């Protein structure tokens, strides 16, 4: 679906004109579409429901992509589980109405307190990423008189052909355990008194637009499952991770959930394994945009700059990953375009949201930074003492504030000056 489209010459979110949102809530503002969020999750559920190997599958939304309570609550209502990477995320999803039996806990640095918190909540599974973590979890579970359900996150050493910062399944990655070490570690886990081996996990990276690396990784994981079965270690679920990419620019081809899932499900037919998935960006990325206003146009000797009221603290992907986001005028002008570097007011040369963008704009115009629903607000900061943006959810013709804009006073409320 297309949640953001031009109607009568003005860009809308569902049935709401973006200038109306700017007038009511000011800018910068994150704007999400409820219909787009629901459609993205439904696409996964529909493919899984149509395939025999998808029976009982669990789609666990990767909370790190966008942790707003309204987003989490919406997905929980639709039957999703959650992939978390911290105790704070666990507390968030529970506050949003999640079923803890649908929560998987990933991440390389789980603390004792986080393990205790997750065990007491009764989560579905811990994705274990190292030998010391396995030993610690066994000890913590024993102290609580519980058994911890685990899968090992196994690195298949498959190149996902994505940005190195979001490539996670190679042998050089900090994540997971080496493929060649996995059998021995599973044997160790099966012998521990407070560990219950339930599954196997694999996540190779993020923003993948070619489904073939997923299939290559699965072949390696299935071979390992067969080795484990020969050793008497039964695997009940297979967590295929997430990473399916989205379309950030017009010339990209966004693979369908069917193109991604069906080849994997075909390989799993008849194995009796419950499928667990951890999509994040794919569920929220194209369901949100960052609405911003042009403050100044600065015409330099070598470049022209459009200085806007959003900045790298609001959306860091362009500066951190060289990430591309389409930037669209909310009310397009018929004038000739000029190439602008779209930059924010932060005192860093890396404070840009787009470079050399052809735009016909004037000061005061609104711009929509597209595909900003994932890793936008979730990675926002208060650098330069900038309050984080308001977040709103559009539902048809209704607009709901799902996070109030911060105030400067809130930013320093927890600080104190020294006594005399």
DSSP string of 250-312, one letter each residue: TT-----HHHHHHHHHHHHTTS-PEEEE---HHHHGGGEEEEEEEEEEEE-SS-EEEEES--T
Report in angstroms the alpha-carbon separations of 201 from 171, 208, 220: 15, 18, 12
Mark whether 347 is an active-site residue.
yes
Q: Which of 60, 125, 202, 347 is catalytic?
A: 347
Domain locations in the chain? 4-32+285-411, 34-280
4-32+285-411 against 34-280: fold identical: no
pTM: 0.95
- pLDDT score at 168: 45
pLDDT at position 172: 57
Q: Classify residue 328 by its DSSP letter.
A: E
Q: What is the distance between the alpha carbons of residues 251 and 149, in angstroms, rounded to a whole number?
A: 43
DSSP 175: S
Residue-wise pLDDT for 324-373, tens only, equals: 999 999 999 999 999 999 999 999 999 999 999 999 999 999 999 999 99
What's the pLDDT at 163? 40
CATH number of 4-32+285-411: 2.40.37.10
Q: What is the CA radius of gyration of the chain?
A: 23
The single residue listed with the structure tokens 């042009």 is 294
d(Cα 248, Cα 145) in Å, to the nearest integer? 48
CATH number of 34-280: 3.20.20.10
Maximum CA extent, the chain: 73
- 144: Cβ–Cβ under 8 A, 6 or more apart, which residues? 116, 119, 120
DSSP-based three-state secondary structure for 327: strand
Report residues of the chain scoring pLDDT below 50.
162-170
């Amino acid at each position: 679906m297309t949640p953001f489209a031009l109607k009568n010459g003005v860009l809308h979110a569902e049935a709401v004109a973006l200038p109306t949102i700017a007038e009511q809530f000011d800018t910068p503002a994150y704007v999400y579409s409820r219909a787009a969020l629901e459609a993205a999750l439904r696409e996964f559920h529909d493919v899984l429901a149509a395939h025999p190997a998808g029976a009982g599958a669990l789609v666990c939304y990767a909370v790190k992509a966008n942790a707003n309570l309204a987003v989490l609550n919406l997905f929980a209502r639709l039957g999703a589980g959650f992939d978390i990477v911290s105790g704070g995320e666990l507390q968030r999803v529970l506050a949003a109405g999640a079923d803890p039996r649908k929560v998987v806990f990933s991440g390389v640095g789980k603390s004792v307190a986080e393990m205790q918190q997750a065990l007491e909540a009764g989560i579905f599974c811990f994705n274990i990423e190292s030998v010391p973590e396995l030993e610690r979890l066994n000890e913590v579970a024993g102290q609580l008189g519980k058994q911890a359900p685990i899968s090992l996150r196994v690195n298949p050493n498959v190149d996902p052909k994505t940005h190195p910062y979001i490539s996670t399944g190679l042998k050089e990655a900090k994540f997971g355990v080496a493929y060649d070490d996995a059998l021995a570690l599973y044997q160790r886990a099966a012998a521990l008194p407070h560990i219950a081996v339930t599954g196997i996990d694999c996540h190779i990276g993020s923003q993948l637009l070619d489904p073939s690396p997923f299939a290559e990784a699965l072949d390696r994981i299935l071979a390992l499952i067969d080795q484990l079965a020969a050793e008497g270690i039964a695997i009940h679920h297979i967590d295929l991770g997430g990473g399916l990419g989205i379309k950030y620019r017009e010339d990209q081809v966004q693979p369908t959930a069917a193109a991604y899932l069906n080849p994997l499900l075909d390989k799993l037919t008849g194995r009796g394994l419950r499928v667990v998935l951890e999509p994040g960006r794919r569920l929220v990325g194209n369901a949100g945009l960052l609405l911003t206003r042009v403050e100044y146009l600065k015409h330099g000797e070598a470049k022209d700059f459009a200085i806007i009221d959003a900045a790298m603290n609001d959306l860091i992907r362009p500066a951190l990953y060289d990430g591309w986001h389409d930037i669209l005028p909310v009310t397009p002008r018929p004038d000739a375009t000029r190439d602008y570097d779209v930059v924010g007011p932060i005192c860093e040369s890396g404070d840009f949201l787009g470079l050399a963008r052809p735009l016909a704009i004037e000061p005061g115009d609104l711009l929509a930074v597209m595909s900003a629903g994932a890793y936008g607000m979730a990675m926002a900061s208060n650098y330069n003492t900038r309050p984080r943006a308001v977040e709103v959810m559009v539902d048809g013709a209704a607009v709901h504030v799902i996070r109030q804009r911060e105030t400067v006073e809130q930013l320093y409320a927890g600080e104190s000056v020294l006594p005399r």
